[in-house]
Chain A
């Protein structure tokens, strides 16, 4: 199991052929209190870089892009009632959606935790 990052502050935790996508602790901190999450529909086909979801804080709406290409297999419905999960637990309970990874090769092009950490220094 590996976790990779995008320069746009999404993480993707790879479990077999599935990726779990959310935003990094750094990103949630910068955005402030999340008040609403617009989830993708299950079955949606995404290309790397497509807009997959939207998270809204009180004063900003930010698009969540697909870190890799694939198909949405599951979304975190918990967030509809409790968007604050992204703030309190971004990497576990605050995941946003799961994606069936179309091209495992795209994973290699993402940042590892050290490279991402450097980016957000």
Chain B
């Protein structure tokens, strides 16, 4: 077995040093009724080329994004990742390091996390950011719990524009308790959350651009929440939008949660991704997740350490701010490298390119008979209403090799009002030919 260094001769020698007659003697604490009393029936070890062939065969059964026109978004976005990013994150020292608990020999990871936190704080316009969470959806649930701790109130209101998966995750985390209010889907971008804020409200959760692509008025939401002593949690699933849209921190957000996948990370069928979380300085101690801070070493040299770790489970056990034990380190690295390559100039151009392509897409779709574009505002994503049920239409378009977006009914199966809605995204990878192919196919299908 190519990954196991011992020869049988060495194994025997080592057993001799231990003074054990055989390997089973080392498993003597295992009840004999449970020790290797079975035949697993699993295949035996296999050479690298055969394993690779097996995996290639599986991969070959999937339609990859590059195989045809692609407009799927809804919380995960197909962007270009520079070759440099993927090369660097595969360096041994990044890929195969553990969490930086020994700062003297982990300054690479730690300095990167410090840079990452700075990038996220600047993007969101907030005072501080953590070193990442699992993803945007679990980050949203964590933010809700954080708001409850901060305000010592319980009521949470989720906007009808919040990604349905995010809403479902919050529901599961909160066990659907009586203080959780989920507003019904608002595909037209209608805003009614302001009427649901009262003196018991801990926080309202507003996504922008929302699940349907509409841009929401964060300033109004923040003012309304603050007037009742509640917090505003802003959720962003497409971070590239921050290249053109005002930072939520400048508009009064108290906690910002974002899915960071768009920068540096491939689609990967849903994971691994990375959750970004940023907040106001005064809320740091209730923020979940790891934090990296600057300090000095014994000789006064600048260095970095994980800090404020008493908030975390390995110290506080049942009193921890959350049960989170890991961040999404390598995804944060990919994000940070990609953002470092872009810089302000590149990031702004990237955002503009996304918006420009989305404008072209919206205008082209509006001209297709049987299609209505619901958005007057958007960044790179929009919702259309079609004259036929969306789910079947998407399947037919897939058979033509076009991945035309997400039928809303896939996420909201019990709401008949969304049956004819499709959410579509354009990115920098979307070409004029892709848009033309989509519109031509849609026209034919909707005839």
Which positions in A face B, CB cutoff 8 Å?
36, 56-61
Q: How far is the CB of A52 from chain B (nearest CB, A)?
A: 14
CA distance A60 to B309 in the complex (A): 9
B54 within 8 A of A: no
Please list the 8 inter-chain residue pairs (A to B) with the smallest Cβ-Cβ separation, ordered nearest first: A61-B310, A56-B310, A61-B316, A61-B315, A60-B315, A59-B315, A60-B310, A59-B309
Chain B 359-388: CB-based contact to A (< 8 A → 1; otherwise 0): 000000000000000000000000000000
Q: Which residues of chain B are within 8 angstroms of A57 by Cβ–Cβ distance?
A: 310
Residue among A36, A58, A59, A61 having the largest count of chain B Cβ atoms under 10 Å: A61
- Does B319 lie within 8 Å of A61, measured CB to CB? yes
Q: How far is the CB of A57 from chain B (nearest CB, A)?
A: 8
Chain B 432-444: CB-based contact to A (< 8 A → 1; otherwise 0): 0000000000000
B149 within 8 A of A: no
Q: Select one of A36, A58, A59, A60 contacting B285, CB under 8 A.
A: A36
Chain B 298-322: CB-based contact to A (< 8 A → 1; otherwise 0): 0000000001011000011001000
- The chain A residue sitting closest to B320, CB to CB, is A61
Residue among A36, A56, A57, A59 having the largest count of chain B Cβ atoms under 10 Å: A56
User: With A60-B315, A61-B315 given, can you name 11 additional A-B contacts, CB distance below 8 Å?
Assistant: A36-B285, A36-B310, A56-B310, A58-B307, A58-B309, A58-B310, A59-B309, A59-B315, A60-B310, A61-B310, A61-B319
Q: How far is the CB of A45 from chain B (nearest CB, A)?
A: 16
Chosen A-B contacts, 6 in total, with CB atoms closer than 8 Å, are A36-B285, A56-B310, A58-B307, A58-B309, A60-B315, A61-B319
Q: Which residues of chain B are within 8 angstroms of A56 by Cβ–Cβ distance?
A: 310
CA distance A61 to B117 in the complex (A): 25
Q: How far is the CB of B283 from chain A (nearest CB, A)?
A: 14
Per the 8 Å Cβ criterion, residues 269-314 of B in contact with A are 285, 307, 309-310
- The chain A residue sitting closest to B316, CB to CB, is A61
CA distance A60 to B315 in the complex (A): 6
Q: Which residues of chain A are within 8 angstroms of B316 by Cβ–Cβ distance?
A: 61
CA distance A58 to B319 in the complex (A): 16
CA distance A36 to B310 in the complex (A): 10
Q: Which residues of chain B are within 8 angstroms of A60 by Cβ–Cβ distance?
A: 310, 315
CA distance A37 to B341 in the complex (A): 41
CA distance A59 to B285 in the complex (A): 15
Q: Which residues of chain A are within 8 angstroms of B315 by Cβ–Cβ distance?
A: 59-61
Q: Which residues of chain B are within 8 angstroms of A61 by Cβ–Cβ distance?
A: 310, 315-316, 319
Per the 8 Å Cβ criterion, residues 328-356 of B in contact with A are none
Q: How far is the CB of B102 from chain A (nearest CB, A)?
A: 14
- The chain B residue sitting closest to A55, CB to CB, is B310
CA distance A56 to B309 in the complex (A): 10
- The chain A residue sitting closest to B309, CB to CB, is A59
Q: How far is the CB of B137 from chain A (nearest CB, A)?
A: 29
CA distance A57 to B316 in the complex (A): 12
Q: Which residues of chain A are within 8 angstroms of B310 by Cβ–Cβ distance?
A: 36, 56-61
- The chain A residue sitting closest to B285, CB to CB, is A36
Q: Which residues of chain A are within 8 angstroms of B309 by Cβ–Cβ distance?
A: 58-59
CA distance A43 to B447 in the complex (A): 73
Q: How far is the CB of A41 from chain B (nearest CB, A)?
A: 11
Q: Which residues of chain A are within 8 angstroms of B285 by Cβ–Cβ distance?
A: 36
Q: How far is the CB of B284 from chain A (nearest CB, A)?
A: 10
Q: Which residues of chain A are within 8 angstroms of B319 by Cβ–Cβ distance?
A: 61
Residue among B285, B310, B315, B316 having the largest count of chain A Cβ atoms under 10 Å: B310
Q: Which residues of chain B are within 8 angstroms of A59 by Cβ–Cβ distance?
A: 309-310, 315
CA distance A46 to B315 in the complex (A): 25
Q: How far is the CB of B290 from chain A (nearest CB, A)?
A: 14
Per the 8 Å Cβ criterion, residues 3-57 of B in contact with A are none
Per the 8 Å Cβ criterion, residues 196-253 of B in contact with A are none
CA distance A89 to B316 in the complex (A): 26
- The chain A residue sitting closest to B314, CB to CB, is A59
Q: How far is the CB of B313 from chain A (nearest CB, A)?
A: 11
CA distance A58 to B305 in the complex (A): 11
CA distance A103 to B419 in the complex (A): 68
- The chain B residue sitting closest to A61, CB to CB, is B310
- The chain B residue sitting closest to A60, CB to CB, is B315
CA distance A58 to B291 in the complex (A): 13
CA distance A36 to B309 in the complex (A): 12
CA distance A60 to B314 in the complex (A): 9
CA distance A59 to B316 in the complex (A): 10
Q: How far is the CB of A30 from chain B (nearest CB, A)?
A: 16
Q: Which residues of chain B are within 8 angstroms of A58 by Cβ–Cβ distance?
A: 307, 309-310
CA distance A60 to B308 in the complex (A): 10
CA distance A59 to B306 in the complex (A): 11
